[in-house]
Amino acid sequence: MNLDKAKKRIAKQVKKGFNGYPKITIAYYGTTKELATEVVIQFVLGEGDSAQEERFNCDTEIRDNELIQTTLLKIIERANVNSVIEIEGVSIF
């Protein structure tokens, strides 16, 4: 799958907003606000449940990495979630 298609499909899920559980949260991290080198995707089955977390890293801009974005999309689709939340911007670690 190409990068643009994966990004658009993820954005479409995010645009739906919170529709209950289960939900997935996506957060980007990096050394600066402009460069994200890590993404954390969390899955929560129900309110009050602990989150299952997966982290992906790369040396370049992770939001432009076709393999990572396609993987995120596959996780979202296979988890059959009601909500996908994306934390805006890049958090500095």
* Contact yes or no for 58/71 (Cβ under 8 A): no
Q: What 3-state DSSP class applies to 63?
A: helix
* 80 vs 78: CA distance, rounded Å: 5
Residue 1 has pLDDT above 90, yes or no: no
Residue 92 has pLDDT above 80, yes or no: yes
* Contact yes or no for 73/14 (Cβ under 8 A): no
Residue 93 has pLDDT above 90, yes or no: no
**Tokens read off for 63:** 């939001």
pLDDT of residue 89: 95
Mean pLDDT estimate for the chain? 96
pLDDT digits (tens, 9 = 90+) for 45-81: 999 999 999 999 999 999 999 999 999 999 999 999 9
pLDDT of residue 84: 98
